[in-house]
Chains A and B, each alone.
Chain A
Amino acid sequence: MRAYTPKDDVQAKAYYTDRFYVAPQVPKQDVESDAVFAADLAAIKARFEVKDAFIQVTNMVVYVNANDIYNLLEFMRDELEYTQLTEMSAIDWLAKDDTFEIFYQMLSMNKRKRIRIKYSINKGQAVDSVEKLFRSADWSEREMFDMFGIEANNHPFMKRILMPYDWQGHPLLKTYPLQGDEFAAWYEVDKIFGKEARDVIGPEIRDTARVDRYDSERFARLGYEVPKGTKITDDMEKTTQSYQEEGGVFLIKKFDKETSVVIDDPQR
């Protein structure tokens, strides 16, 4: 069972935690503890420089040099049967040592093993595209560019994939504010109406619980509709009109409860 922690100040606590808190790592095992991984690592080491390698939660993690990546993945795909690139992206370590960590998650269906290839690049540095090897890298590299601003050389279509093409900033950077910077806050207003409309439309209201029943600029109360901007008081008469035929209508009798018969026997 998980150890009990007090939950009464859990909401307040979130404000005081360090945003760049580094979680404790799961234990690492030696590569020699797995025969398949040990053979794979030996094959990789024979051709490429390996900085570090270990097994973490049944995955082998291998740290390599950035400029080896294309040849390494080609070798792994063709020789070591790691035929799928299931995921790739970057990790923002700019706050720690001004680098990005790029990872490639490889899967071998034959060996039933997963290897994670990792390397670090400096800020502003580009990576080599592996789109020619794995089609899945096409969109992943575009997403990496979109979210982190890391470009991939030799990519056929190095453009943003999630955010609009004219977006500024890279949202998955840890320095990017969650609720957006100045550009993001006014993006739709600037684009559709122009910057001069900012005064008319006003800033975003981030407090979703905000309700003002006396606000007749933005809301009308049901049954108490007033013209826009009218001052609302508490003692107003109901102005609702459900149907325009409320006084009765041509050819149709008004259905009313008193003169109707309620049938409560389904077997009647």
Chain B
Amino acid sequence: MAQHKVNYTQDGGLPVALTSIDKIVNWGRSNSLWALTYGLACCGIEMMASGASRFDFDRYGTIFRASPRQADVMIVAGTLTKKHAEFIKRLYDQMTEPRWVISMGSCANTGGMFNTYATVQGCDRIIPVDLYLPGCAPRPETLQYGVMLLQQKIRANKAGNAQKAKRLM
């Protein structure tokens, strides 16, 4: 049998890593944020660009899923109209916990330039939002930075399944 010439006392030698449950669970969660494909308007184009080869969201472990049941984070990319409001709530409810929401762009944040009767004045009226990205539309770099901030937020939290109470019925 071959003798491994490994000095277990040197750095990286000991094949054991100690950590806490919170850290390892959050490590997994934050590095595989699967996003719901949810382009509502022009921000959706930037979101697609973030996922495509030039900006490459896969580097963060963010893969777009077409089903809310497989998604961890909902990126509300675009104008949320009042006609569509019930569907965003339905999709959000179908996502499994823990789940996060990024409100991408001015329209999703506050209604933006659409100060009209047909636009929801901020998607946080319907669903709880973790992160607001400013911009019209935000660049893919902004969205990726936003996802990194969301990762930080996830890592700073406890790993328990019960989410902190957010403003929602």
Interface residues of A (CB under 8 A from B): 162-164, 171, 176-181, 184-185, 187-189, 191-193, 197, 200-201, 204-206, 208, 217-219, 222, 225, 228, 239-244, 250-251, 253
Q: Is B118 an interface residue (CB 8 A)?
A: yes
- Measured between C-beta atoms, what is the minimum distance from A35 to chain B in Å? 46
A239: B residues at CB distance < 8 A: 156
Given A201-B125, A208-B111, A193–B169 Cβ distance below 8 Å? yes
What are 30 A-B pairs with beta-carbon distances under 8 A? A163-B118, A164-B82, A171-B117, A176-B117, A177-B117, A179-B116, A179-B117, A180-B116, A180-B117, A181-B117, A187-B85, A188-B85, A188-B120, A188-B125, A188-B126, A192-B126, A197-B169, A200-B169, A201-B125, A204-B111, A205-B110, A205-B122, A206-B111, A208-B110, A208-B115, A219-B132, A225-B156, A239-B156, A241-B156, A244-B26
Could you tell me the distance between the alpha carbons of A219 and B89 in the complex, rounded to whole angstroms?
Answer: 21
Say which residue of B26, B125, B152 sits within 8 Å of A204 (CB atoms). Answer: B125
B23 on the A face (CB < 8 A): yes
Determine the distance from Cα of A175 to Cα of B85 in the docked complex, in whole angstroms.
25
* Complex CA–CA separation, A123 to B111 (angstroms): 33
Q: Chain B CB within 10 Å — which of A178, A205, A208, A251 has the most?
A: A208
* Chain B residues in the interface with A (C-beta under 8 A): 11-12, 17, 23, 26-27, 82-83, 85-86, 89, 106, 110-112, 115-118, 120-122, 124-126, 132, 149, 152-153, 155-156, 164-165, 167, 169
The answer to whether B86 touches A188 (Cβ under 8 A) is yes
CA–CA, A219 and B166, complex, Å: 12
Chain A hits for B121, CB < 8 A: 204-206
Chain A at the B interface: mostly helix, strand, loop or mixed?
loop
B27: A residues at CB distance < 8 A: 244
| Shortest CB distance B89–A (Å) | 5
Contacts of B126 in A (CB 8 A): 188, 192
Q: Is the CB of B85 within 8 A of A191?
A: yes
B114's nearest neighbour on chain A, judged by CB, is A208
Tell me how far the C-beta of A186 lies from the nearest C-beta in chain B, rounded to whole angstroms: 10
Verify B155–A188 contact, CB threshold 8 A: no
Q: How far is the CA of A241 from the CA of B124 in the complex (A)?
A: 26
* Residues B155 and A171 in contact, CB atoms below 8 Å apart: no
Give the residues in chain A near B132, CB-CB below 8 Å: 219
Contact across chains for B118 and A171 when beta carbons are under 8 A apart? yes
The residues of B that contact A251 with a CB separation of less than 8 Å are: 12
Task: Contact check, B82 vs A187: say whether CB atoms are below 8 A apart.
Answer: yes
Distance, CA A250 to CA B16, complexed state (A): 8
Cβ contacts under 8 Å, A178 to chain B: 115-117
Residues A188 and B82 in contact in the complex (CB < 8 Å), given A163-B118, A176-B117, A222-B149? yes
Interchain CA distance A200-B125 in the complex, whole Å? 10
- Closest-by-CB residue of A relative to B24 is A244
Contacts of B120 in A (CB 8 A): 188
Considering only CB atoms, which chain B residue lies closest to A178 in the complex?
B116
